[in-house]
Structure 1
Amino acid sequence: MIKSILVTGATGQRGGATVQELLKFGFQVKAFIRNKNSPKARELTKLGAELIEGDLLNFETFKTTLNEVDAVYMILPPVWDMNEEEDNKEADLGIAFIDLMKEKKIKFVIYSSVFMADKHKSFRPRFKHTIEDHLWKSGLKATVLHPATFMENFLMPSSGITEGKLYNFMPQGKKVPYISTEDIGIFARIIFQNPDNYAGQTIELLGDKIDEIEILNALQTSLGINLELVQLSLEELTAQNPLFGKLIEMFTYEPFLSVHLEALRILNPKLLSFSSWLEEFGKSKFITQSLY
C-alpha cells in the first residue's frame, strides 16, 4: 500500500492539482518546490503538505527524502524554448532521476509525460519518449501518463484573450484533445490508490476533443465577451520556432490516438469537458487574473 508520495513540480499546474487531490484522500505528501516562501508553496502547507525545498537539477537537495517515501509523481521542469539542446537536458535529467529512484528502491512511480509521446520520435531524437523507454527498462513499477494539451493554457497571455483575440496554434478545423489539470490530479490519485491495476500501463488522458470554433464559442459564451479568432499558419509558427513548427505539423497530419472518453469517464466521473471546465474553474480564474 502506498502512503507517502513525493510530488515534483508541486507548485506547477499538474503538480499542484495532484498534491491537493492526494491530500484530500489521506496520502502523506512531500511537495518538492524551489521556494518555500512562494504563495503557492505556502498554500500547499496550509493544505497539509510537507514542503521539500530544493532544485531538481541537484539531487543532493532531495536524495534523503526518497528514503522516506513509497512513491514518486515525476514531473520534470517545463521547457519553454523548444530546441534539441533542451530536449537532451530533459532526457538526461529524467534518466538520472529514474536511476536514483531505482537505487532508493522506490515502490511505484507515475511519470507525467505528454500526449502521443512516441510520435515525437521522428523529429525529436531524445525527448520524453527516451525517458519513458528508460523507465520501462529500469524495472521500476510504474505508470506513464500522457496528458493532452492543458485547458489552462488558455489562461496564458499567449492565447491572445487579453488582446480581445483568440490565437489558434492548432490545425484549423481539427478537433484537438484537451484536459484540465484538475483531472490529471484525479487520475494520478486513482492510480496511486490502485497501483497494481495500472502498473506497466501508458494512459492517454483527455477530457474533450474540440476545434477552434467550438473553443471560441465556449469562451465567448462563458466570459460574455467578443473575441477575434486569429489562425496562425504553420509557416508562421515554424519561423518562430522550427521544432514547435514540427510539433504542429505532426498534429496537422497525424491522426490523434483513438481514446475512449467513456472509459475515462467511468474511471473519473467528474471528467471535465472544455465548457464544464470554464464554468467550474476557468471563468473564475480569468476574473481573478484580470484576463478580460
Structure 2
Amino acid sequence: MRIFELAQQAKTVRHYVWSSLDYAVKKAGFDPKYRPSVVSDSDLSWSSLTSEPYMEMLKSSLWGPLTRRADGTHVFAFPTGQGRVPMVSLKDIGFFARCSFYNRAEVSGKDLEITGDVVTLEDTV
C-alpha cells in the first residue's frame, strides 16, 4: 500500500496497476471499499492484475526440469498428480496491463484475473 500512497503523492500518476498472484489480495484482507478508485484528471485511479504462474517459468529451474538422467531424460517435478495448473504467458499479462491504461474508466477499482490456459503435465512437455 505504501507504493500506492507514494504514487498518489507524485500527482503525475493517473492510473496505478498492481500485479498480484491469485488469492494474495484476498489473503491480505484487502477490501476495495477502503481504497476508492476515482477516474479524473487530478485523482489517482487503480486496478489490479491477478495472474497465475508464468508459462515461461517452465524453462526455469523452478518449474522446468529439475534433474537430467545419464541417458539424457529430463525429470520434471509436477506436484499436481493428474491435476491441472492454471498458467499465463507474460505476453498476455502485458496485453492486459496495456489495456488497463487505455481503458482506465472501465477497469478502475477492479481486479482483472488473468489465466491463459489450465494445463496438465502432458501439456507442458
Preserved CA contact (<8 Å) 1:148 1:205: yes
- The number of residues matched between the two structures is 111
Q: CA RMSD in A?
A: 2.2
Structure 1 CA distance for aligned equivalents of residues 88 and 109 of structure 2: 22
Structure 2 CA distance for aligned equivalents of residues 183 and 101 of structure 1: 25
Residues 1:160 and 2:65 aligned together? yes
Once the 2 structures are TM-superposed, how far is the Cα of residue 109 of structure 1 from its aligned partner?
A: 0.7
Once the 2 structures are TM-superposed, how far is the Cα of residue 117 of structure 1 from its aligned partner?
A: 2.4
Structure 1 CA distance for aligned equivalents of residues 32 and 8 of structure 2: 10
Please name the residue that 1:115 is paired with: 22
Structure 2 CA distance for aligned equivalents of residues 173 and 151 of structure 1: 18
Aligned CA distance change for structure 1 residues 134 and 108 (closer, same or farther; 3 Å): farther
Give the aligned residue type for 1:97: I
Structure 1: unaligned runs, 5 residues or longer? 1-94, 122-128, 220-292
TM-score by length of 1: 0.35
TM-score by length of 2: 0.76
The 5 A counterparts of 1:120-269 are 121=27, 129=28, 133=30, 137-139=34-36, 140-158=44-62, 159-160=64-65, 163=68, 164-169=74-79, 171-215=80-124, 219=125
Structure 1 CA distance for aligned equivalents of residues 23 and 118 of structure 2: 15
Residues 1:96 and 2:2 aligned together? yes
Aligned CA distance change for structure 1 residues 97 and 136 (closer, same or farther; 3 Å): farther
Identity %: 24
Aligned CA distance change for structure 1 residues 188 and 136 (closer, same or farther; 3 Å): farther
Where 1:157 maps in the other structure, the secondary structure is: coil
Aligned CA distance change for structure 1 residues 135 and 111 (closer, same or farther; 3 Å): farther
**Bigger strand fraction:** 2
Instruction: Map Cα deviations across residues 134-164 of structure 1 (whole Å, 9 max, x no partner).
Output: 7763444111110111101111123226621
Preserved CA contact (<8 Å) 1:110 1:145: yes
Instruction: Map Cα deviations across residues 43-88 of structure 1 (whole Å, 9 max, x no partner).
Output: xxxxxxxxxxxxxxxxxxxxxxxxxxxxxxxxxxxxxxxxxxxxxx
Aligned CA distance change for structure 1 residues 187 and 117 (closer, same or farther; 3 Å): same
After TM superposition, which residue ranges in structure 1, 4 or more long, deviate above 4 angstroms?
A: none
